[in-house]
Structure 1
Amino acid sequence: MNKKLLCLLYLMIIFLLITSCVTKEVKEPETINFCFREGIPALTVVKLMKEAPTIDENISISYEIQKSPDLLITQILKEEADIAIVPSNLAAQAFNKGLSYKLAGTSSWGTLYLASTEDIKDFQELKNKEIYSFGKGLTPDLVLRLILSENGIIPDEDLKITYLNAASDVGPIFISGKADIALLAEPLATNVMMKKENTRIIYDLNEEWSKITGADKGYPQASLIIKADLIENNPDFVKEFINIYEESIQWAKDNPEKLGDYAEELELGVKKETIVEGIERINIGSFPINNSKREYQIYFEAIMDFSPDFIGGKLPDEEIYFER
């Protein structure tokens, strides 16, 4: 074989080897499913949905908004969501069931408010009253009952709690005048205050929780969870995603007018005027898990005392947390 042919053969072999290596390194495009409820969880994602930033050329993000809490729960239990914003107790429940999710940070803190048309200034004035509420046996009920009990009020003995089917049912009853005291969640609380001028927020339950438990930030209402295999297989993507999500939360807090515009454009179920008026009560911000583990531990311990099944029957250990 002459030298020219031998040289050409070598070059072909080298080219094939290089091409083979490059082909192996090319990742197949994949779609990450990011799932969350409409309302406050969706507001923390508005900037990402609107701007659709590219984090990795081979990874796209599908934003899935669920109107039903049951549908979101099903997605988590079937591990169909790669990333999700869920009630914090569901994060613990999923972990205790052995599902592959890690708790990455807090999307929103407590947004429950006790409202009244009466000028109530002390918990003792609630005796013999009726509170219209929702979420029996769930976080709203846990928080309300704990706060009442710690302030010398025995629920179901000193006062009556009337439960409605959903948070959205409480507002109309209160506005109609059938209820004088009601447990309201944002953004409904702001809607009610805008429609019924003599509405007073008599207690911010997140603040009251802080006073009772010593948890500086209150209780973590909604949390961001991420699949463990996504963290393991795409660490750079996850790190950058968390960074831009945290920026999205802060942007939402700092830009209520623009947030309202985007929310209406994206049809997220919250009106602009409600967002602008109630941005402080929406209580988003302070995301990093490494600064909030104590708040989670206090919250989980309180649930264990109240309704253990609500977090899967046991306290989650340190493995639940994903710290950057």
Structure 2
Amino acid sequence: MKIVKKSLTLLLALAMTLSLASCGKETEKEPTVEETPITTRVAALKGPTAMGMVKLMSDNEAASEEGSEADAAQDGYEFTLAASADEVTPSLMKGDLDIACVPANLASVLYNKTGGDIVTLAINTLGVLYVVENGNAVQSMADLTGKTIVASGKGSTPEYALRYLLTENGLNPDADVVVDWKSEHSECVAALASGAATIALLPQPFVTVAQSKMPDLRVALDLTEEWDKLDNGSALLTGVVVARKDFVEEHPAAVETFLKDYGDSVSWVNDNTADAAELIAGYGIVDSAAVAEKALPYCNIVCITGAEMKEKLSGYLQVLFDADPTSVGADPADESTGLPGDDFYYGA
């Protein structure tokens, strides 16, 4: 009996020793990289891409102000709003930004320029471009012959979409139409308001901004509709969300968190236009909530990811490439450049 008791005692002691050793190992376990909260640096342009992000921006700001332990244990964001892509691109390429909302074709240009170091996470804006006019002379693309159009976005989606549609409608973009390029959309609105121009190419929400100042200004052409008339299997896209490849590889959990947060923000903005308009005005993206609320239904704000993103974006880039290879960053002197490879499309 004593032997049994002694054996039982030894077994219990051994079990306790193993248990304590196991606990010690758990305590000493090193946290993984993704368990360490990071601040994801995000930039968006003042327009539809930033409009879809306002709920995320607001929630992030509220969490930062609360400063609770729970918030400190989660990933956060640092947002930058810019007037043009030229302000965003250098910071992204230098590594000062992790994620950025940029024109769709610029994403491909950056992919080629960096040797594949740019990844597209989502499509965030479908077609939002319109030709507006003080008058009634323009009823079709052909009616733009001999006209002067003020526009912003040279070297990005507005220029290439306009050139492509003019060409497909039998016009020479370099001879039949004069495009007066401005640095910002607000300059185009000012030119219309002063009478210096009567026709402009504008995206939403700047169309609504212009109409609020000039009640007689009308939408002459919806470029999305004009593109769809071609029935070429592609769609007109405006903006996408891109990230640095090294950020995606080093912080996969942060990327997934961002996509969920951004998708939720887009859904909220589209479902709550009045409240979203207040945030949009509060962040200075649009001058007034009334204008933002009126423009939102025409801004085509989305968050399309994965295979659907690849299908739509690759089709759009193919159209641009066929029209002008340099529009997607292809260099005729460099065979390594061209349409992006599969690694350009995150999650597809």
Match of 2:345 in 1: 321
Structure 1 SS opposite 2:301? coil
TM-score when normalising by structure 1: 0.85
Quote the offset at 1:306 in angstroms: 4.3
Unaligned runs of at least 5 residues, structure 2? 1-9, 64-69, 331-337
Deviates more, 1:152-161 or 1:113-122: 152-161
Match of 2:215 in 1: 197
Work out which of the two has the higher radius of gyration on C-alpha atoms and give 1 or 2: 2
Match of 1:225 in 2: 242
Q: Is the 8 A contact 2:192 2:200 kept in 1?
A: yes
Structure 2 SS opposite 1:285? strand
Quote the offset at 1:114 in angstroms: 0.5
Matched residue type, 1:290: A
Matched residue type, 1:323: G
Matched residue type, 2:321: M
Matched residue type, 1:281: Y
Per-residue CA distance 1:141-199 (angstroms, 9 max, x = gap): 21112112212223343333333333221111112222222112222111111111111
Match of 1:140 in 2: 158
Quote the offset at 1:10 in angstroms: 7.9
CA distance in 2, matches of 1:78, 1:121: 45
CA distance in 2, matches of 1:25, 1:179: 58
In structure 2, which of residues 53, 65, 70 is the aligned counterpart of residue 45 of structure 1? 53
Match of 2:228 in 1: 210
TM-score when normalising by structure 2: 0.80
Unaligned runs of at least 5 residues, structure 1? none
Match of 2:298 in 1: 281
Mapped pair 1:251 → 2:268:
yes
Residues 1:303 and 1:282: Cα distance change in structure 2 (over 3 Å)? same
- Give me the identity figure in percent: 25
1:1-324 to 2 correspondence within 5 Å?
Answer: 16-21=24-29, 23-24=30-31, 27-52=35-60, 57-96=73-112, 97-119=114-136, 120-212=138-230, 214-215=232-233, 218-285=235-302, 287-313=304-330, 314-323=338-347
Quote the offset at 1:208 in angstroms: 1.2
Residues 1:15 and 1:315: Cα distance change in structure 2 (over 3 Å)? closer
Matched residue type, 1:82: D
CA distance in 1, matches of 2:173, 2:89: 29
Q: Is the 8 A contact 2:269 2:276 kept in 1?
A: yes
Quote the offset at 1:89 in angstroms: 1.9
Residues 1:254 and 1:215: Cα distance change in structure 2 (over 3 Å)? farther
CA distance in 1, matches of 2:261, 2:169: 41
Quote the offset at 1:16 in angstroms: 4.3
Structure 1 SS opposite 2:27? helix
Task: Give the aligned CA root-mean-square deviation in angstroms.
Answer: 2.9
Residues 1:139 and 1:267: Cα distance change in structure 2 (over 3 Å)? closer
CA distance in 2, matches of 1:25, 1:236: 11
Structure 2 SS opposite 1:173? helix
Matched residue type, 2:108: A
Per-residue CA distance 1:88-124 (angstroms, 9 max, x = gap): 2222123222253321211111221111122232333
- Count the aligned residue pairs: 318
Quote the offset at 1:43 in angstroms: 1.0
Matched residue type, 1:275: A
